[in-house]
Chains A and B, each alone.
Chain A
Amino acid sequence: MPFSTEMTLAWLIAGITLYIPANLLPVMHTSGLLGDADSTILGGILEFWRSGDWDIALLIFIASVAVPFTKFIAIGLLLLTVRKNSGWQQHQRTVLYRIVEFIGYWSMLDVIVVALTAALMQFQVLGSAEPRAGIAFFCAVVVVTMLSALCFEPRLIWDRPA
């Protein structure tokens, strides 16, 4: 695919840009007997961690923080090495690309959690949960980084000027 690196870079920058509001804005608004609360992704992780649900906290952390960062760094690394026509660890980099492609959609876990919670928690008086803008940004981050990975041409890792 021609201009692969340029497009990959463009999508990557868009993903990083969108990742900032996705973390700053609340992803979910819950209201119930115990009051109303807006929760952000990091706030939710901290809350789960503090209340002792470290497993859930870890899961959400991996899905919504570790995976996107891994992708950003991995794609960035791949782009950088391709641009430099580096011959360094070509096999490893190919594996890295496969991994990035594979883990891409796992980040959608967060989006699905919010969607499910919002759909299930509709007791009106007792409590309800509504998605907030943050989750849309997060969804966009996942899609954009997947597009970025798709645009990348793994062949370029091996294409070296003779």
Chain B
Amino acid sequence: MSAASTPPPEEDLPTPLVQNRRWMPRLVWVVPIAAAVIGISLLIKNWENAGPQITISFLSGEGVQVGKTLVKYRDVTVGRVSAVSLSADHETVLISADLSRDAAGLLNADTQFWIVRPRIGVGSVSGLDTLLSGAYIGMKSGAAARRERQFVGLENPPALSHGPRGRELELHAARAGSLAIGAPVYFRQFQVGRVIDENLLPDGKARVTAFVEAPYDGFVKPVTRFWNASGIDVKLGADGLKVQTESLAALLAGGIAFDDGPMDAAPAAAGIPGQFNLYKNETEAMAPPDGEPHYVRMRFAQALRGLEEGAPVEFVGVNIGSVIAVDLGYERRDKSFPVVVTAKLYPRRMGAAYEVLTAQGKTESDDTLAAFVGTLVDRGLRAQPRSASLLTGKLYIALDFVRASPRTAFDASIRPLELPTVNGTFQELEASIGRLVKKVNDLPLEQIAADLHTDLTDLHETLSELHARVLPSAVDTLSALHTTLDSAGRTLDVESPLQRGLTEALLEARGTLQAVRELADDLDRHPDALLRGRRPQKMPHRPAPLTSDAKP
């Protein structure tokens, strides 16, 4: 174009230059082509990455935001909500979500979806991250082969979202207690699982489904006993107060504990693997199986206040049953009102004794057992109400051998068996306490009190007299004594004239005594001095040779 502006005088000059430069503009076109290629490749990649679009219906779309709410599988984002709309009948919310391509394999006919919102329970806190990030849609893949794009979401998250390995157990109980879904399952105070479901069976019993995680499901054996570990177990035993609880969480949310049953125990009654009984507490769970109960009836000719349903029946101190009814009967013979107590007994609770009896064939049938009871009655077996605690006044029934009891007729054919009774000892105790109280009552307490009062008045008078008269004179006497002691002290002082005179007199007496001793010595040696008078002093007995010997 520059060539166009100049007149064309010569034609050979620019030719080689032009050919060289020609490459530059050609090369420049690579740039837009490259840009276009990159753009198109991105587009293709994006299109390839786009996965399936699914629709999930929920009852509520709370917390779901278009473009923000994520679909997560095992906490990994696999998609995003692209649209939220109402269904045609306005009953459900339809949530459309774009999933990534690799999530397509997770979509089966039984894939489950649910909305994860923060859930704070006593036993667990879950979905806390959703507090800030908002709800997300969780998903759990199923096993079905059929592909599906339309789903019905779960309103509550499934208990086990990612299918950890383990074992599901079915526990049957009369009542579910305070168990909640998610409540922990303990094995020796280690949490090994959770309660994942609970429902009411048509027969009114509760069925609790528990899940025990993989390495621990081996602890669940046919002999395993399950019990409700909710709350605190406070026991006041001979060894003091025992408070037991599996954990603080179990205290609040309830929980299930399990452990091996007694060694020789028969497998769980249900017999179906994975089905167990859920006992009320550990003691009940660990008790040997009771077997079939046998019913007995007892008539007591005394009031049994304090005997309640469920009160224990003890055979030689072993709890073998419980009272199930306390009724009032009427005896036409003597127009009396005996108390009729019905109790159920579990002979199996007699333990080793029961085995011995079984070996002897005594427990074969109801009749053989009744006959055996008859022999026991002949040996003095009697039912007797006894006081379990003086404090509470509760009674229990003791089956014991009373030696001095009169023989009674025992009819082994009556059902339920009727056991002979003797009256309780607690009434004797009451009577003796009554006698004691009467004796105390009979004491002439008033007279004693009156006498005591007179005596005390006299004593008071005496004391006041003492105070008025004797005390002042005593004070005088004491002060006189004080003066005397004072003068005595002064007399005995070292500086007093008396003391000094005494000392001098003593010195003189010593000199005199010395003179007397000299005189006595003199007289001893020269008794004649008495007659001849004292001789001039010399040393007659001091031998001269001694001195002369010493000289040389």
- A residues with CB within 8 A of B: 2-3, 6-7, 10-11, 13-15, 17-18, 20-21, 25, 33-35, 133, 140, 144, 156, 159, 161-162
Contacts and interface: CB of A to CB of B under 8 A. Distances in A.
A10 B29 contact: yes
A21 B39 contact: yes
Interface in B15-59: 18, 21, 24-25, 28-29, 31-32, 34-36, 38-39, 42
B25 A144 contact: no
Contact of A21 (B2, B18, B38, B133): B38
A14 B132 contact: no
B28 A7 contact: yes
B4 interface: yes
A133 B39 CA distance: 12
Interface string B62-74: 0000001000000
B21 A3 contact: yes
A24 to B, nearest CB: 8
Given A35-B132, A159-B5, A3 B32 contact: no
A119 B117 CA distance: 34
Interface of B: 1-2, 4-5, 18, 21, 24-25, 28-29, 31-32, 34-36, 38-39, 42, 68, 132-134
Nearest to A34: B132
Pairs of residues from A and B, 6 with the lowest C-beta to C-beta distance, nearest first: A14-B32, A17-B35, A13-B32, A3-B25, A10-B28, A35-B133
Contacts of B133: 33-35
A10 B39 contact: no
B547 to A, nearest CB: 126
B239 to A, nearest CB: 52
B132 A33 contact: yes
Nearest to B14: A2
A2 B21 contact: yes
Contacts of A10: 25, 28-29, 31-32
Given A3-B24, A13-B32, A13-B35, 10 more contacts: A2-B2, A10-B31, A11-B28, A11-B31, A33-B133, A35-B68, A144-B31, A144-B35, A159-B1, A161-B4
Nearest to B2: A2
A20 B31 CA distance: 15
Nearest to B42: A21
A95 B421 CA distance: 126
6 contacts: A14-B31, A15-B35, A17-B35, A18-B35, A18-B38, A159-B5
B25 A7 contact: yes
B288 to A, nearest CB: 57
B39 A18 contact: yes
A6 B24 CA distance: 10
A161 B5 contact: yes
A10 B34 CA distance: 11
Contacts of B24: 3, 7
A123 to B, nearest CB: 15
Nearest to A162: B5
A25 B45 CA distance: 12
A144 B133 CA distance: 40
A14 B5 contact: no
A144 B32 CA distance: 10
B42 A25 contact: yes
A1 B63 CA distance: 62
Nearest to A147: B31
A21 to B, nearest CB: 5
Given A3-B24, A7-B25, A14 B68 contact: no
A15 B1 CA distance: 25
Contacts of B39: 17-18, 20-21
